[in-house]
Structure 1
Amino acid sequence: MKDTQRHAIVDIGSNSIRLVVFGGAARAPATLFNEKITAGLGRGVVPGGKLDPVATAQALKGLARFAALLRLMAPDSLRVVATAAVRSAADGPAFLSAVKDLGLPAELLSGDDEAVASGFGVIAANPSACGIVADMGGGSLELVRIAGGAVHERVSLPFGVMPVGAIRAGGPGLLRKALRKAVKPLAWLRPDNGQALFVVGGGWRALARYHMLECDWPLPVLGSYSFPPEDARWLKEKVRIAGAANLAALPGISTTRAAQLDDAAALLVALVRELEPSRIEVSTYGLREGLLFQRLSPKVRALDPLIEDVRHTVGGQLQVADYPDALLAWSDGAFPDEPGHLRRLRHAACMIAATGWAANPDFRAIAGEDMALHGHWIGIDAAGRAIMAMALHVGLGGDPDAPPALLARLASPQELDRARAWGLAFRLAQRIGGGSSQALEEVPIAVAPDGDLVLRVPRSDAALIDSVCERRLTRLALALDRAARIAV
């Protein structure tokens, strides 16, 4: 898969049908187009039963529109997949045949196929993810153990949001009993494993959005948002009290999702009881992104999704293509032995900082902060976004002592102090070379054996170092609790 290609997926689910066209970096696909049909194919379907005729007609009408759009869009690849409702229905093969008659190459995913794709979707967004993936669709629940960048044990269970509603309608306690019976034989789901729970699916994303609102969370970005498992029961009670009408009036929660939140919350509570996870984390990547990830070569899979995403986004805005890498290498001298998880954030910040010239000079710091905090990045959590935002706030001209207040709610003081130092280094580098990669190569910075922060300047470049450079070097050294000196 090349970065210039567009890849389309039609996902025929039990609750909704989506056409999503992806572009951007192959390792970090961006959504170019996303349209949904809320057909409810799985409504009332029991194994061996038939699809609802009204839902079927609505689905085929919407799929005919998708087929027409795809003919005009002409994506480089197309995959059309159907999941639980079509898999369970007696007339599923006839429905797939009707979809193929529209010119869409429909295929039926098995429960195992669906679970594997969901697991790889979470891995695509968070390569270090380790724990249990729970993907709640309209008709089924996929549980998958992931670790080491690989999918391990998995199972597909009939606990999608529609079946859950039907089970709960039978009386209190039935959902928990049914789920317990289903997971009890699965040793890899033992509660004493204390694994993280990565939740996937529109219902749980909407539930997490509600959690954000109730907690007054300052960063409305769902990817990698997490909360303690004990909040599940509190959240279920809040949803019950609020009611669907009030939930639908909240930002980011559709009417359809609002009607399902009570059942989604009930399933989450039951799952937390059985698995006893260490934390609950939201993944905005799932089955569709997993299908794309499975097509990648091992070499591309191994790339850092954050770095690839930022690199692709800022590529067209760089005045000097190699400057971000030169800035990273130069700043390595001031931050020797920095852990890899921090260095990758500094790398991403270097790339964004190199685009500062494209913003209004009066708003460069704000533009950098906004990209870090609200960019559609993957492979990064809220603390990581705040660390990058602090570095960019300082590096692009903001007051080092007056960063945005919300950053203190997202990252620790120690993390923000480190990021402040990154920003001071960016400002020093800009003063030395004005965005020149060669200048950074010729005027390196390093920590000397005696602990001093030393700027080494060839005599031929001595004129580059003015009083502003000296002040910026001194301030950077103070931020690192070191003395500063210039060696000509």
Structure 2
Amino acid sequence: MTNQRIAIIDIGSNSVRLVVYEKLASGSHRVIEASKRAARLSEQIDSDGKLAAEAIGKLIQTINHFLMICDHHQTKTIRAVATAAIRNAVNGQEVLETIRSQSGLQVELLSGEEEAYYGFVGMINALAVDNGFLIDIGGGSTEVSLFRNRKLEASVSFPFGCVSLTRRFGRDGMLDNDAVKELEAFLSAAVAKEPWISQHPDLPLIGVGGTVRALGKIHQAYHHYPIELNHNYQLNAADVDQLFHLLQALPLDKRRKFPGLSKDRTDVIVPGLAILRLLHRAIRAKHYLVCGTGLRDGLFHATCFPGDPIVPDVLDFSISQLIGLHPETQSRHAELVRRVTPLLFDELKDTHTLPRDAELLLQTASSLFRIGASIDYYAASKHSFYLIVNSQLNGLTHRQIVLAAAIASYKGKNRLRQQLSEFRELLHEADFEGVVKLGMLLQLAMALDRSETQTGWPFELKRTGTTLLITGAAGSEQLAWEQTEVKSLAPDFKKAWGFVPEFLPAY
């Protein structure tokens, strides 16, 4: 299987975006190009409901530029879609035909239901959440979906978004209190026509799209959040209310300088947050959750895996993606460590009180501990920590990502304290000792194949008093290096677990 390149062009109401994905022979995929051009198509609908000719011309220029980028990347598959602005325009079909004739690109016009479905696929493949409401606030439409047991149950596409509401209720880019009341009354009337929205309280409100991503970035910048991850970022109602009122009160020139807010959202962020807040109240949601994936990711999965685009296990899929992108994680030594680590955990887990997510963290760390060797073998653990923290490792919270990275790169308590110092506000009091225990387990698993020959496998484990006896399957002359490594880490292992590991060959 050779590498494939697939482009998604998303003609939205607020912007036009291109993402080029590369699907590798290993089965993993990555983004190799992402471009965005502001469009504000919803603002350029005239009094007759038509998209203006000037806007169409600029749109075609953007598309032709994106097609040139696709050609540069030798992209064989290009899937282009249009959403609310063209869907709602009286001359929408004429616009699509003009695009086809002047660029050669065939654009799919998504219905509101299709837009909601692809957004759901993009989200559900990136978050380990079973039930919730999904909200996608675009420039000209807002999709609301209910999913339970990871299956879409109901959805609606409202014909308004942050750009169209700014145009309708804003005054020179500002929303005063009276305008907010009018906007909320308008939203409430629309939501009331969909009674199912208010019938499932205490579920998370998961947001995809530019408005909610901007919200996450603003909140993180405002509070000096220690990790640069927007995906799977949680906020409560008070957080969002505070930011809404702060931003609403600021004139545009000062709002442009607000930490974390991009300039192209200065005038539309307040109406976007107004939509979010009202839906949160209508749903009686538990909290807000930012999702960094969405429509374009859903389209990619549906294009690559048309029969079954939804992955069964988000974390397993995410780990396998990272393994496929880093050859060092695919060695026979790495595979053996992945097999041995859970055996050691099962043998010792009843001897200590461990965090509920200990097994999950250890599974992740033992799968990715070698990832840093793809950058520098001699500094592999340092690079492993950085790569794990800064990769989009789906299925884990930000705290869990940091802990998994610390376990995977564990080299001793002193280094650990320094490593975790900048992430203190994310961590619990007991996390440090948990990392020490799990890090030592991983270190022992690595020591049992120090020669990276898999000579001693399979191992037998047995606890005798305070000794953890590990018996290998080969002669002593072949396992001397492993015996030395196990002996050298025995004192630290005993401090962490209360057992002295001893490695013996089978004669």
TM score, norm. by length of structure 1: 0.89
Do 2:7 and 2:77's aligned partners in 1 also have CA atoms closer than 8 Å? yes
Relative to structure 2, which stretch is displaced further, 418-427 or 104-113?
A: 418-427
Structure 1 residue 377 corresponds to structure 2 residue 376? no
1:343-368 Cα distance to aligned partner (Å, 9 max, x none)? 45434323432244455577444322
Q: Would you say how many aligned residue pairs link Structure 1 and Structure 2? A: 484
Residue 17 (structure 1) aligned with residue 16 (structure 2): yes
- What is the aligned-residue identity percentage? 21
What are the Cα deviations for residues 147-193 of structure 1, in whole angstroms up to 9, with x where unaligned?
Answer: 32322200000231112213433834122222222222434322652
Offset, 1:37:
1.6
Q: Which of residues 412, 416, 419 is equivalent to 2:435?
A: 419
Would the aligned equivalents of 1:42 and 1:139 in 2 still touch at CA under 8 Å?
Answer: yes
1:324 aligns with 2:334: yes
Assess, with a 3 A threshold, how the Cα gap between structure 1 residues 70 and 459 changes in structure 2: closer, same or farther. closer
CA contact (8 A) 1:27 1:300 kept: no
Verify the 8 A CA contact 1:164 1:267 in the aligned structure 2: no
Name the stretch that deviates more: 414-423 or 262-271: 414-423
- Please name the residue that 2:110 is paired with: 109
AA aligned to 2:98 is: A
State which of 221, 225, 249 in structure 1 corresponds to 2:229: 221
**CA separation of 1:260 and 1:70: change in aligned 2, threshold 3 A:** same
For structure 1, which runs of at least 5 residues remain unmatched after alignment? Answer: none
Equivalent-residue separation in structure 2 for 1:365 and 1:415 (angstroms):
19
Match of 2:486 among 461, 465, 469: 469
Does residue 301 in structure 1 map to residue 311 in structure 2?
yes
Deviation at 1:131, TM superposition (A): 0.2
2:324 is matched by which residue type in structure 1? Answer: H
Equivalent residue, structure 1, for 2:444: 428
Out of 195, 207, 213, the position equivalent to 2:215 is 207
Return the offset for 1:281.
0.7
Q: CA RMSD in A?
A: 3.1
Is the Cα–Cα contact under 8 Å of residues 222 and 260 in structure 2 kept in the other structure?
A: no
Which residue of structure 2 lines up, in the alignment, with residue 71 of structure 1? 71
How far is 1:275 from its partner?
A: 1.6
Q: What is the CA distance between 1:210 and its match in structure 2? A: 0.6
Q: Is the 8 A contact 2:6 2:77 kept in 1?
A: yes
What are the residue-to-residue correspondences of 1:57-456 with 2, within 5 Å? 57-101=57-101, 102-169=103-170, 171-190=179-198, 193-249=201-257, 253-295=261-303, 296=305, 297-298=307-308, 301-302=311-312, 304-315=316-327, 317-318=328-329, 321-336=331-346, 342-360=358-376, 363-395=379-411, 399-400=415-416, 402-434=418-450, 436=452, 438-439=454-455, 441-443=457-459, 446=461, 448=463, 453-456=468-471
Distance 1:90 1:159, change over 3 A: closer
State how far apart, in whole Å, the 1-side matches of 2:468 and 2:184 are.
Answer: 61
Is the partner of 1:132 in helix, strand or coil? strand
The 3 A distance-change label for structure 1 pair 69 and 487 is: closer
What CA distance in whole angstroms lies between the structure 1 residues aligned with 2:120 and 2:6? Answer: 20
Taking the aligned partners of 1:141 and 1:300, their CA distance within structure 2 comes to: 23
Query: Which SS does the other structure have where 2:326 is aligned?
Result: helix
Quick one: distance in 1 between partners of 2:499 and 2:390? 34
Deviation at 1:380, TM superposition (A): 2.7
Counterpart-to-counterpart distance in 2, 1:420 and 1:146: 38
Alpha-carbon displacement from aligned partner over 1:297-325 (angstroms, at most 9, x marks no partner): 4397235332122112212x35x623222
Give the Cα separation in 2 of the matches to 1:70 and 1:333: 47
Structure 1 CA distance for aligned equivalents of residues 21 and 281 of structure 2: 37
CA contact (8 A) 2:457 2:472 kept: no
- Is 1:478 the equivalent of 2:481? no
Give the conservation status (yes or no) of the 8 Å contact 1:123–1:149: yes
Query: Counterparts of 1:388 and 1:247 in 2: how far apart (Å)?
Result: 37
Secondary structure, counterpart of 1:153 in structure 2: strand
- State how far apart, in whole Å, the 1-side matches of 2:131 and 2:28 are: 20
CA distance in 1, matches of 2:12, 2:203: 28
| 1:430-462 CA-partner distances (Å, limit 9, x unpaired) | 334226151462445x46387853322457135
Which stretches in structure 2 are left out of the alignment for 5+ residues? 171-177, 350-354
Q: TM-score, normalized by length of structure 2?
A: 0.86
